[in-house]
Amino acid sequence: MDEDGETETGAYIWEGEYEKTWEALREDEAGSIQASVDDIVSRAKRRRLLERPADIRLGMMRHLFVVIDLSSAMTDQDLRPTRQHCTLKLLEGFIEEYFDQNPISQLGLVVTRNKSAEKLTELGGNPQRHITAARKAVDMACSGEPSLQNSLEICMKTLRYMPGHTSREILIILGSLTTCDPGDVSKTIKELASYNIRSSVIGLAAEVRVCAKLCKGTRGKYGVILDECHFKDILMQHVSPPPAATNTESSLVRMGFPYHQLSANVASGETPSMCMCHLDGNEEQGFGSKGYFCPQCKGKYCELPVECKSCGLTLVSAPHLARSYHHLFPLDASVELKLSNISAEVSHCYACQVRLTEQLLYQCQKCQKFFCLDCDLFIHETLHSCPGCANKPPNQALNDSVNNRNNT
């Protein structure tokens, strides 16, 4: 659709036929349409999974700033209970998912209101700190106008000094249709592009030209929400690592794998000590013998991943890196087939043993096993490995893939 509201055929939308969207929904015997709503949602999910391009280098170590608009437009009640509440609640879920999928990445929060911007939390890798700050932000008063340029400047001040191999990103959640800037936003956009900082915007109201320009100039994504579910969808899309910029440096990062100790070995003279993460606090939290010891300076930490305060070494554990491996070895999409078209005798889903009654099945291309819709979604979104392929010994899997390539 172009700007005058004309469709491709040249007619205006109101001149076309009615779109009977209610006919897409079907009631089942109990009168509930939950089944068809679920069906539509899962189809949309599958379509999105297929759209993700493969074989692209991803920015795995991410430094992301989330800018939250707290202007007077956020008191609007089109999202329940107010836009501000809804945004911050979804943001908590986003923060958890983000650190779950990108354990070696960092996040920071910035708010903008009254024509200025302030940093809520510094860039860091501890999810609890950000979630607490987001919860406190619900009580902050919304007033004034947001300032796009000021918030971008604040983020840029920190992000420009981040190492070159990381992916620097800004995500702006903007509810207002205006922005009040001290200078020329285009200059800021050019500066962002020169530092390789990828800015994406999620608009809550309508499409704004300056945001579109910002996203286009920095190769980010611009989305405008329709309702709360769509908001959650768009927000969660930013959890997966984005494609890396072409001039991102690649380097070998020096990291430590600390030794975990459950209890002190009193015989060799080890005593309980204070951990480095709780040194500043007044509570007794962190005193004990349990913890992770930095291999370089033997400083004690309660949780990983963390950057050692005394020697600057990034400390991670092997499972943290393993959590990101599924982005690098993504699962191929499965093929949708009709039950009636299949020649082989298939009565049960391979994974969950449920009897296949519906018309649609999903088949893995590599191991040729059939799955039901629920299992297919579960495998692609959560499990990230196909049960059929995991049950094949390595040399047999190799033979099968060679056969498949010869047949096709």
Partner 1 sequence: MQTESGVDENQLHKCLDSIMVFCNSHLMLNSENKLAVLASHTDQSKFLYPKAESATAAAPPSVEPREDVISMATGEESNDSMFSRTNGPGSCGEGKQTSSDGRHELLAQLDDSLIDQLKEMILNDSSQDNILRAETMLAGALALALCYIHRMMKEHTKQGLKSRILVIKAGEDSASQYLPFMNAVFTAQKLNVPIDACLLGKDSGLLQQGSDITGGIYLQIPNPMGLLQYLLWVFLPDADTREKLVLPPRVQVDYRAACFCHRNLIDIGYVCSVCLSIFCHFSPICSTCQTTFKIMGRPGKAKKRKLLPK
Which stretches of the chain bind partner 1, using CB under 8 A?
A: 57, 60-61, 100, 165-166, 244, 249-262, 295-296, 313, 317-319, 321-326, 328-329, 347-348, 350-355, 374-375, 378-379, 382-394, 396
Residue closer to partner 1 by CB (options 256, 286) is 256
Residue closer to partner 1 by CB (options 360, 378) is 378
CB 81, min distance to partner 1, A: 26
Residue 216 and residue 399: Cα distance in Å, rounded? 46
CB 381, min distance to partner 1, A: 10
Where b means 16+ CB within 10 Å and e means fewer, 137-175 reads beeeebebbbbbbbbbbbbbebbeebeeebbbbbbbbbb
Residue closer to partner 1 by CB (options 173, 375) is 375
- Strands 300-301 and 291-293, how do they pair? antiparallel
Residue 390 and residue 398: Cα distance in Å, rounded? 12
Residue closer to partner 1 by CB (options 56, 177) is 56
The pair of three-digit structure tokens given for residue 342, joined into one six-digit string: 């299949």
CB 362, min distance to partner 1, A: 13
CB 404, min distance to partner 1, A: 18
β-strand partners of 223: 202
| Consecutive H or E run containing 214 | helix 209-218
Closest CA to 275 of 261, 265, 290: 290
Residue 46 and residue 373: Cα distance in Å, rounded? 10
Residue closer to partner 1 by CB (options 93, 387) is 387
Residue closer to partner 1 by CB (options 117, 276) is 276
Closest CA to 15 of 5, 25, 24: 5
CB 385, min distance to partner 1, A: 4
CB 62, min distance to partner 1, A: 11
CB 352, min distance to partner 1, A: 4
Residue 86 and residue 81: Cα distance in Å, rounded? 7
Residues in the chain: 408
Query: Residue 264: how many CB atoms within 10 A of its CB?
Result: 15
Residue closer to partner 1 by CB (options 144, 387) is 387
Closest CA to 153 of 123, 120, 114, 183: 183
Residue closer to partner 1 by CB (options 173, 351) is 351
CA atoms within 13 A on the CB side of 259: 10
Identity of the amino acid at 375: C
Q: Under a CB-based contact definition with an 8 Å cutoff, are residues 142 and 174 in contact?
A: no
For the chain, first and last CA: distance in Å? 39
CB 365, min distance to partner 1, A: 17
Residue 163 and residue 167: Cα distance in Å, rounded? 9
